[in-house]
Amino acid sequence: MSELPPIRKIIHVDMDAFYASVEQMDNPDLKGKPIAVGGNEKRGVVSAASYEARKFGVRSAMSGVQAKRNCPELIFVKPHFERYHEISKKIRAIFFDYTDLVEPLSLDEAYLDVTHNKKGNPSASLIANEIRKRIFNEVGLTASAGISINKFIAKVASDYNKPNGQKTVNPEEVIAFLEQLDIRKFYGVGKVTTEKMYQLGIFTGIDLKSKSLDYLVEHFGKSGSYYFYVVRGIHTSEVKPNRIRKSLAAEHTFNENLSSEIFMLEKLDHIAEEVSRRLTKSKVAGKTVTLKIKYSDFSLQTRSKTLNYFISDKALILETAKDLLYQEKMSNSVRLLGISMSNLNNEGLAIQTRQTKNEKSVNVQLQFEF
């Protein structure tokens, strides 16, 4: 008999409309109103939208122009990232009261492995509920949570009862839960993949499950193997408390499109300075510099150069970015420029805390309290 995947107690905590909720908390005049963090009605892109704005179809990554068109009463708010970081640290401190196995995905969400937790509480559902209450009482914001046997199902479940809710998928419920799940709800299935699956007659988990591994790999490449296993409740990725940063970037959307490279260089100077600051703060350097260019027609282009040595100095970053800018002629005026650094020198710096491998047999799954 093949070895069974480990049964874990995983919680995925996801803050509700985090950026927008922080702005509404800090400015009571914004409470109950449709707001968009980032962008404006003429330029830029929405970073986050309040639930009041989402009712009108306003969402992150939408242009400010489209967002305002969808919701004429929309209020644009300048982002305050230092404040978001401050709040995020308070939330993570709460997580660490329960387990050291915390894997942040971003400022507003994280996985927690509470299989063996500091409170000695056998119920992951009760722990998740307690964490959400503490976030509300100590920070002033609401959070949603998903609880299940692995990271994939917990991630999907956390979106089920948003905002300010939670959902537990017990071991014996996993297969039925996944079979009835809309394919759009599968984490890792984006808009393009969803359309492709629809064309192949895949609309729910049970449709996906009916396809063989060879069929899915043929149509979706390496991702096909991922889809084949997760729809069967198999996802063995552990909660990694020390995720290694793979890249670091900064970018800027301009109030007016730029057509002159002289003006672009001026903007790149500021962006390179910010990238250098972030590298220094993170105590890393990188070998690969990537220039991101978004044109006025919203088409996107990236140009990269890998050096023989690590850099973090602004002057060297800017010099490389200039080379990439002049690499080929611009096809249109530019609305956004960004610089990212990858191939960072942090390999091996993070020591992964390995999870206990005392696997549970299938015979005790129903007694595994959630």
199-230 burial by CB neighbour count: b if 16+ within 10 A, else e?
A: eeebebbebbeebeeeebbebbeeebebbbbb
Sheet holding 300-311, edge to edge: 247-258, 334-344, 286-295, 300-311
The helix (run of H) or strand (run of E) holding residue 339 is strand 334-344
> C-alpha 236: how far from its chain's center?
19
Comparing C-alpha atoms, which of 125, 126, 93 is closest to residue 110? 93
Catalytic residue among 86, 109, 173, 261: 109
For 116, 144, 339, 368, the CA distances from 35, given in Å and listed in that order, are 40, 20, 28, 43
DSSP string, 290-316: EEEEEETTS-EEEEEEEEEEEE--HHH
DSSP string, 251-302: EEEEEEEE--HHHHHHHHHHHHHHHHHHHHHHT--EEEEEEEEEETTS-EEE
According to DSSP, the residues that pair with 330 across neighbouring strands are none
Q: Are 302 and 292 in contact (CB under 8 A)?
A: yes
* DSSP letter assigned to residue 126: H
Residue 82 has φ and ψ, to the nearest 5°, of -60, -40
Kindly give, in sequence order, each residue whose CB lies less than 8 Å from that of residue 352, ignoring residues fewer than 6 positions away: 240, 241, 242
Q: Are 359 and 4 in contact (CB under 8 A)?
A: yes
Q: Is 179 designated active site? A: no
d(CA 332, CA 339): 19
d(CA 111, CA 239): 6
Provide the CB-side half-sphere exposure for 137 (13 A, CA): 7
Residues with catalytic roles: 109
